[in-house]
Amino acid sequence: MSGQILLETRGMSKTFGGLKAVDDVSLQLREGIVTTLVGPNGAGKTTLFNLITGHLEPDAGEVLWLGQSIKGMPHWKIAQAGIGRTFQDLKLFDQMTVLENVLTVTERGSWFWQGGGTAARAERLAQAEAALAAVGLADHRHTRALDLAYAERKFLSIARILSSGARLWLLDEPASGLDRSSYERFLGLLREQVGKGITICIIEHNLDIVQGISDRIAFLDQGRLLAEGDPKSILNDPALAAIYFGERA
């Protein structure tokens, strides 16, 4: 397998009440590789993202980014280190325009007294505009996020992660509910970014998309990493298929 390990979890665990949401998960994400997290609803996929990004604290385990522990770091610091994410519910600023939604990302790290003046501001604007052009939202730059169509909101969340400059993208069901032409455009966009060196871990249910994008698949069920490997071996495993389609004995 090529690519250095960018991010690694070791023995990651999180319990809510008596429920083991994430149970001893050790996973490696390698540079330039698309790893897809699959598994039934409630398997712990989103919780695993939250543990990696500092939105939740693990009960046990380690998270290493470029070989260094990032456990316990605040989520904004982890984002600044180069780990970007999207949320299942997108978390857009509904009352802001499309462009403003992207600018909140590019301006996040810049204190007002370090604004860098006109040149730096122009550069951040150019970065935001480039991200909007890449996802096909340039013509909507002054539309309020609230007034976007469903698929456009999804693409806006991608523009935000794109303009963040993150090296690793954690995408939580970014294609759910997209019609076929939208998700094909979305897949093209992801492939283009992977071609530019972006590393992706994506939570996805649509098996067409899973097959279309994955270099590796990690299969979670009831908090445990049941299997991890190349797409063919995972997708052709009848025991995993039974779990995935809810035919567990």
Ligand X SMILES: Nc1ncnc2c1ncn2[C@@H]1O[C@H](COP(=O)(O)OP(=O)(O)O)[C@@H](O)[C@H]1O
CA 124 – CA 149 distance, rounded (Å): 26
223 and 25 Cβ atoms separated by less than 8 Å: yes
CA-based nearest residue to 52, from 33, 66, 71: 71
Site residues for ligand X per CB under 6 A = 16, 19, 21, 39, 41-47
CA atoms within a 13 Å half-sphere pointing along the CA-CB vector of 56: 20
Rounded to the nearest whole angstrom, what is the least distance from the CB of residue 237 to ligand X in the complex?
19
- By three-state DSSP, how is residue 202 classified? strand
Residue, CB closest to Mg ion: 46
Binding-site partner at residue 19 among Mg ion, ligand X, none, CB < 5 to 8 Å by type: ligand X
The smaller minimum CB distance to ligand X, of residues 16 and 76, is found at 16
The smaller minimum CB distance to ligand X, of residues 57 and 139, is found at 57
142-to-73, 125, 129, 133, 196 alpha-carbon distances in Å: 35, 13, 11, 13, 28
- DSSP class of residue 114? G
The smaller minimum CB distance to ligand X, of residues 148 and 218, is found at 218
Sign of dihedral through CA atoms 31, 172, 211, 175? negative
The piece of 7-15, 17-25, 41-49, 213-221 that touches Mg ion (CB under 5 A) is 41-49
Rounded to the nearest whole angstrom, what is the least distance from the CB of residue 202 to ligand X in the complex?
12
Instruction: State which of positions 43-62 bind Mg ion (CB under 5 A).
Output: 46
Rounded to the nearest whole angstrom, what is the least distance from the CB of residue 13 to ligand X in the complex?
12
Binding-site partner at residue 16 among ligand X, Mg ion, none, CB < 5 to 8 Å by type: ligand X
The four Cα atoms 94, 137, 119, 110 give a dihedral, to 10 degrees, of 40
The smaller minimum CB distance to ligand X, of residues 68 and 89, is found at 89
The smaller minimum CB distance to ligand X, of residues 102 and 218, is found at 218
Binding-site partner at residue 82 among Mg ion, ligand X, none, CB < 5 to 8 Å by type: none
Rule CB under 5 A: which residues touch Mg ion?
46
